Amino acid sequence: MQRPSLTGGFRDAPKDAAFAFRAVMNTMAKPGEINSVTGAEPPAGLSIAAGVVLLTLCDPETPVYLAPRFDLPEVRDWITFHTGAPFVAASAAHFALGTWGELPLGDFPVGSAAYPDRSATLIVEVDDLRSEGATLSGPGIKDSAALSLPDRAAIQQNAALFPRGLDFIFTCGDRLAALPRSTKVS
Protein backbone atom coordinates (compact mmCIF):
# COMPACT_ATOMS: atom_id res chain seq x y z
CA MET A 1 0.00 0.00 0.00
CA GLN A 2 1.34 3.40 -0.97
CA ARG A 3 1.36 6.26 1.56
CA PRO A 4 -0.77 9.28 0.52
CA SER A 5 2.19 11.63 0.96
CA LEU A 6 4.02 9.83 -1.85
CA THR A 7 1.26 10.42 -4.38
CA GLY A 8 -0.54 13.45 -5.74
CA GLY A 9 2.43 15.29 -7.17
CA PHE A 10 2.91 16.17 -10.82
CA ARG A 11 2.56 13.05 -12.96
CA ASP A 12 4.96 14.26 -15.65
CA ALA A 13 7.01 16.50 -13.37
CA PRO A 14 9.06 18.52 -15.90
CA LYS A 15 6.11 19.20 -18.20
CA ASP A 16 3.46 19.69 -15.49
CA ALA A 17 5.75 21.91 -13.42
CA ALA A 18 6.47 24.12 -16.44
CA PHE A 19 2.77 24.53 -17.24
CA ALA A 20 1.95 25.16 -13.58
CA PHE A 21 4.73 27.71 -13.19
CA ARG A 22 3.54 29.60 -16.24
CA ALA A 23 -0.06 29.55 -14.98
CA VAL A 24 0.93 30.85 -11.54
CA MET A 25 3.18 33.56 -13.00
CA ASN A 26 0.48 34.63 -15.48
CA THR A 27 -1.97 34.83 -12.60
CA MET A 28 0.45 37.01 -10.60
CA ALA A 29 1.02 39.22 -13.65
CA LYS A 30 -2.73 39.80 -14.13
CA PRO A 31 -4.18 40.63 -10.71
CA GLY A 32 -7.82 39.68 -10.30
CA GLU A 33 -7.89 37.29 -13.24
CA ILE A 34 -9.17 33.87 -12.20
CA ASN A 35 -7.41 30.90 -13.78
CA SER A 36 -7.79 27.15 -13.49
CA VAL A 37 -4.83 24.87 -12.85
CA THR A 38 -4.32 21.12 -12.85
CA GLY A 39 -1.62 18.63 -12.07
CA ALA A 40 -1.74 18.16 -8.30
CA GLU A 41 -3.79 15.83 -6.17
CA PRO A 42 -3.06 17.11 -2.67
CA PRO A 43 -4.34 15.55 0.56
CA ALA A 44 -7.99 15.99 1.52
CA GLY A 45 -8.82 19.48 2.69
CA LEU A 46 -6.23 21.14 0.48
CA SER A 47 -7.49 22.50 -2.85
CA ILE A 48 -5.98 21.47 -6.17
CA ALA A 49 -4.99 25.09 -6.81
CA ALA A 50 -3.21 25.42 -3.44
CA GLY A 51 -1.43 22.12 -4.12
CA VAL A 52 -0.30 23.32 -7.55
CA VAL A 53 1.02 26.59 -6.08
CA LEU A 54 2.93 24.74 -3.36
CA LEU A 55 4.42 22.24 -5.84
CA THR A 56 5.38 25.07 -8.17
CA LEU A 57 6.83 27.68 -5.85
CA CYS A 58 8.15 25.80 -2.82
CA ASP A 59 11.46 24.02 -2.46
CA PRO A 60 14.00 23.34 0.31
CA GLU A 61 14.94 27.06 0.31
CA THR A 62 11.39 28.40 0.85
CA PRO A 63 10.13 28.13 4.43
CA VAL A 64 6.38 27.55 4.75
CA TYR A 65 3.95 28.46 7.51
CA LEU A 66 0.83 26.32 7.86
CA ALA A 67 -2.24 27.73 9.59
CA PRO A 68 -3.78 25.34 12.15
CA ARG A 69 -6.42 23.93 9.78
CA PHE A 70 -3.67 22.80 7.39
CA ASP A 71 -0.99 21.94 9.93
CA LEU A 72 -1.78 18.25 9.74
CA PRO A 73 0.62 15.31 9.40
CA GLU A 74 -0.73 14.33 5.96
CA VAL A 75 -0.32 17.89 4.62
CA ARG A 76 3.15 18.28 6.15
CA ASP A 77 4.25 14.88 4.80
CA TRP A 78 2.90 15.69 1.31
CA ILE A 79 4.66 19.07 1.17
CA THR A 80 7.88 17.62 2.58
CA PHE A 81 7.97 14.72 0.13
CA HIS A 82 7.13 16.77 -2.96
CA THR A 83 8.97 20.03 -2.23
CA GLY A 84 11.33 19.59 0.71
CA ALA A 85 10.15 22.96 2.08
CA PRO A 86 10.81 23.45 5.79
CA PHE A 87 8.03 24.51 8.18
CA VAL A 88 8.50 27.66 10.22
CA ALA A 89 6.72 30.24 12.35
CA ALA A 90 4.87 33.02 10.51
CA SER A 91 7.68 35.52 11.17
CA ALA A 92 10.16 33.43 9.14
CA ALA A 93 7.86 32.29 6.32
CA HIS A 94 8.36 32.94 2.63
CA PHE A 95 5.03 31.24 1.91
CA ALA A 96 2.01 30.61 4.08
CA LEU A 97 -1.08 28.49 3.64
CA GLY A 98 -4.37 29.00 5.41
CA THR A 99 -7.80 30.53 5.43
CA TRP A 100 -8.12 34.30 5.85
CA GLY A 101 -9.24 34.11 9.46
CA GLU A 102 -6.41 31.77 10.46
CA LEU A 103 -3.47 33.63 8.95
CA PRO A 104 -1.79 36.04 11.40
CA LEU A 105 -1.29 38.85 8.86
CA GLY A 106 0.71 41.05 11.21
CA ASP A 107 3.28 38.32 11.88
CA PHE A 108 4.53 37.72 8.33
CA PRO A 109 7.59 39.50 6.92
CA VAL A 110 6.67 42.44 4.68
CA GLY A 111 10.21 43.21 3.51
CA SER A 112 12.19 46.34 4.20
CA ALA A 113 12.94 49.53 2.29
CA ALA A 114 16.25 48.04 1.16
CA TYR A 115 14.84 44.54 0.50
CA PRO A 116 11.11 44.71 -0.28
CA ASP A 117 11.34 41.28 -1.92
CA ARG A 118 11.93 39.66 1.46
CA SER A 119 8.24 39.40 2.18
CA ALA A 120 5.82 36.52 2.37
CA THR A 121 3.34 35.27 -0.20
CA LEU A 122 0.13 34.02 1.38
CA ILE A 123 -1.83 31.21 -0.24
CA VAL A 124 -5.33 31.89 1.03
CA GLU A 125 -7.93 29.15 0.69
CA VAL A 126 -11.37 30.70 0.15
CA ASP A 127 -14.84 29.17 -0.15
CA ASP A 128 -15.73 31.23 -3.20
CA LEU A 129 -13.69 33.05 -5.84
CA ARG A 130 -15.55 35.41 -8.16
CA SER A 131 -14.79 38.28 -10.53
CA GLU A 132 -16.94 40.69 -8.56
CA GLY A 133 -16.65 42.75 -5.42
CA ALA A 134 -13.61 44.95 -4.88
CA THR A 135 -12.32 47.00 -7.81
CA LEU A 136 -8.65 46.46 -8.63
CA SER A 137 -6.26 48.68 -10.56
CA GLY A 138 -2.53 48.91 -11.09
CA PRO A 139 0.23 47.02 -12.91
CA GLY A 140 -1.08 44.15 -15.04
CA ILE A 141 -4.64 45.48 -15.16
CA LYS A 142 -5.71 47.29 -18.34
CA ASP A 143 -8.47 49.48 -16.88
CA SER A 144 -9.86 47.73 -13.84
CA ALA A 145 -10.71 44.26 -12.59
CA ALA A 146 -12.96 42.93 -9.86
CA LEU A 147 -12.35 40.20 -7.32
CA SER A 148 -14.18 38.86 -4.29
CA LEU A 149 -11.89 39.59 -1.34
CA PRO A 150 -12.19 38.40 2.26
CA ASP A 151 -11.22 41.74 3.86
CA ARG A 152 -10.92 44.81 1.66
CA ALA A 153 -9.65 47.11 4.43
CA ALA A 154 -6.77 44.80 5.43
CA ILE A 155 -5.73 44.42 1.81
CA GLN A 156 -5.83 48.21 1.31
CA GLN A 157 -3.61 48.64 4.38
CA ASN A 158 -1.21 46.10 2.92
CA ALA A 159 -1.12 47.94 -0.45
CA ALA A 160 -0.30 51.19 1.40
CA LEU A 161 3.02 49.60 2.46
CA PHE A 162 4.20 49.33 -1.16
CA PRO A 163 6.96 48.58 -2.15
CA ARG A 164 6.88 46.48 1.01
CA GLY A 165 3.91 44.27 1.82
CA LEU A 166 2.44 40.81 1.38
CA ASP A 167 1.44 39.17 -1.88
CA PHE A 168 -1.71 37.04 -1.96
CA ILE A 169 -2.77 34.04 -4.02
CA PHE A 170 -6.41 33.12 -3.44
CA THR A 171 -7.31 29.49 -4.16
CA CYS A 172 -10.65 27.71 -4.45
CA GLY A 173 -10.96 24.23 -5.93
CA ASP A 174 -8.90 24.23 -9.12
CA ARG A 175 -9.03 28.04 -9.49
CA LEU A 176 -6.69 30.76 -8.33
CA ALA A 177 -6.33 34.53 -8.49
CA ALA A 178 -3.48 36.72 -7.33
CA LEU A 179 -3.28 40.07 -5.64
CA PRO A 180 0.27 41.44 -5.59
CA ARG A 181 1.07 44.23 -3.14
CA SER A 182 1.28 46.72 -6.02
CA THR A 183 -2.44 46.37 -6.73
CA LYS A 184 -4.74 49.20 -5.62
CA VAL A 185 -8.04 48.06 -4.12
CA SER A 186 -11.17 50.21 -3.90
Q: What pLDDT, on the 0 to 100 scale, is given for residue 4?
A: 57
Residue 1 confidence (pLDDT)? 41
> How buried is residue 82: exposed, middle or buried, by Cβ count under 10 Å (0-12/13-18/19+)?
buried
pLDDT of residue 8: 66
Strand pairing report for 175-179 and 64-66: unpaired
Residue 11 confidence (pLDDT): 75
**DSSP conformational letter for 8:** S
Whole-number pLDDT of residue 10: 67
CA distances, 28 to each of 79, 182, 183 (Å):
22, 11, 11
Question: Whole-model pTM?
Answer: 0.94
Q: Say what the pLDDT of residue 12 is.
A: 78
DSSP 106: G
Report residues of the chain scoring pLDDT below 70.
1-8, 10
Helix (H, G, I), strand (E, B) or coil at 169: strand
Which residues lie below 8 Å from residue 136, measured CB to CB, with a gap of 6+?
A: 31, 32, 144, 145, 146, 147, 179, 183, 184, 185
Strand ordering across the sheet containing 134-137 = 145-147, 134-137, 184-185
The residue ranges of DSSP E strands in the chain, in sequence order, are 35-36, 64-66, 95-99, 121-125, 134-137, 145-147, 167-172, 175-179, 184-185
Q: Specify the CATH number of the domain 4-185.
A: 3.40.50.11310
User: What pLDDT score was predicted for residue 155?
Assistant: 95
